[in-house]
Amino acid sequence: MFTNFFPMPINKNLVLLFLCFFVFITYSSAQELKNKVDLAADKIESKVIEWRRDLHQNPELSNREFETANKIAAHLRSLDMEVKTNIAFTGVTGVLKGGKPGPVIALRADMDALPVVERVDLPFASKVKSTYLGEEVGVMHACGHDAHVAMLMGAAEVLSNMREELAGTVVFIFQPAEEGAPPGEEGGAELMVKEGVLKNPQVDVIFGLHIISSLEAGKIRYKPGGTMAAADRLVIKVKGKQTHGSRPWQGVDPIIVSAQIMQGLQLIISRQTELTKEAAVISIGKISGGVRNNIIPEEVEMIGTIRTLDKEMQKMIHEKIHLTATKIAESHGAVAEVDIQIGYPVTFNSIPLTQTMIPTLFQTAGEENVQLTPARTGAEDFSFYANEVPGFFFFLGGMPRGQDPFTAAPHHTPDFFIDESGFKLGVRSLCHLTIDYMQLHATSGN
């Protein structure tokens, strides 16, 4: 029996004092590392901006990010990391092992650009053209993925220069096809997860950010729980009866039927969906049908997106889309075929992880610059990572200070613009989150 394990009675005040001293030493160690990060971020800022401008001038579409991947891999190798390439076609990872045991933390950036013709007057504006869905298109980083890559490259360099002081491992994930793989292909975070990007080493948590064109540079927004919407792809084919444009009564016009279906889809949202519960959106982004002005065609195809933040609402909206499209078509003697392809799930921020890490962002950006935000109807395939391990995804300001947010060009548009002065905060945030999580979990990692 261990009735007298301690040679003298335990002094609770001494134990408390020891624990306070331990916490102070841990905090001081983390703060010292974060001070080093801040100095390094100052020095590397110009390189981050240079990388971003190069990527912006040379954008590549989803699953075609070959040169982007080569540049990233070369940079990670120069930092003496374990580098893997060709994950999910063009994905790249770098593994940085710290000098001390601790958790495995993943940091993620997306690499792909969009089929958009740039209209912003910049010396490094994109002039690139490519082929998308069989058509020649301009290519532009119209969502800020070039900035995400550059900031994560910066964070990789900063953290690699203090690897011996890090208590854990960092996995840098550079992901293709966040905007969605081309039809008939797999891609993006879902395929990265399938191919084991969160294994070997086994990732404990993942952090990611997205720059926002309507939020001032120097500010951060976040939301615990559901923060970005599920995104499903919608294809509706309306089949009518072809006829001469001068004699519509001899056929069934799928163009006019399609127009009525589009109105019906919007009535699902505005009149049949409980929008006070969660937001929802149906948008048609492409319509194709017909060959010339005086022929009513036989078929029209509509392609769109469905955004939801609640699983029950998602199910209801899918059912209403089928009902609305088929019945409107039937009433005109046409046939509507509805295909809904389940896409990205809701991006869900782990509530315990978010609560734990928000003080880090308060300290990094200043508490007055960190804002709680409502959920967004934009979607992010970061959700696939966060379905596997606890994740925290936040938003970084990219709008020039003092600009009216309502005048900022939206993402996915030709006038999309990002203020580069916010990049340093992105680098610091990723590094600070990594260091603080390591300090909090240094003894629980591998």
- For residue 84, what are the β-bridge partners? 93
Options 112, 190, 232, 278, the catalytic residue: 112
Measured distance CA(398)–CA(49) in Å, rounded: 13
345 phi/psi in degrees, rounded to 5: -75, 175
Look up residue 346 and give its two tokens: 């809701």
Selection from 393, 427, 432 nearest residue 205 by Cα = 393
Task: Look at the block and give the residue holding tokens 């997306």.
Answer: 110
157 is catalytic: no
Question: CA nearest 87: which of 102, 108, 105, 103?
Answer: 108
- Transcribe 89-145 into DSSP letters: TTEEEEEEE-SEEEEEEEEEEE---BS----S--TT----EEEETTEEEE-B--SSH
Residue 26's contacts (CB-CB under 8 Å, 6 or more residues apart) are 439
Q: Could you give the CA distance from residue 204 to residue 391 in angstroms, rounded to a whole number?
A: 9
- For residues 219 and 364, the answer to whether their CB atoms sit within 8 Å is no
Contact between 349 and 391 under an 8 Å Cβ cutoff? The reply is yes
Look up residue 58 and give its two tokens. 């040379």
Catalytic position from the list 60, 157, 178, 299: 178
Structure-token match 């509706």, residue found:
236
Task: Let me know if 112 is a catalytic residue.
Answer: yes
Angle between helical axes of 145-160 and 12-57 (0-180°, round to 10)? 130
Residue with tokens 């399938």: 194
Just list the catalytic residues.
112, 178
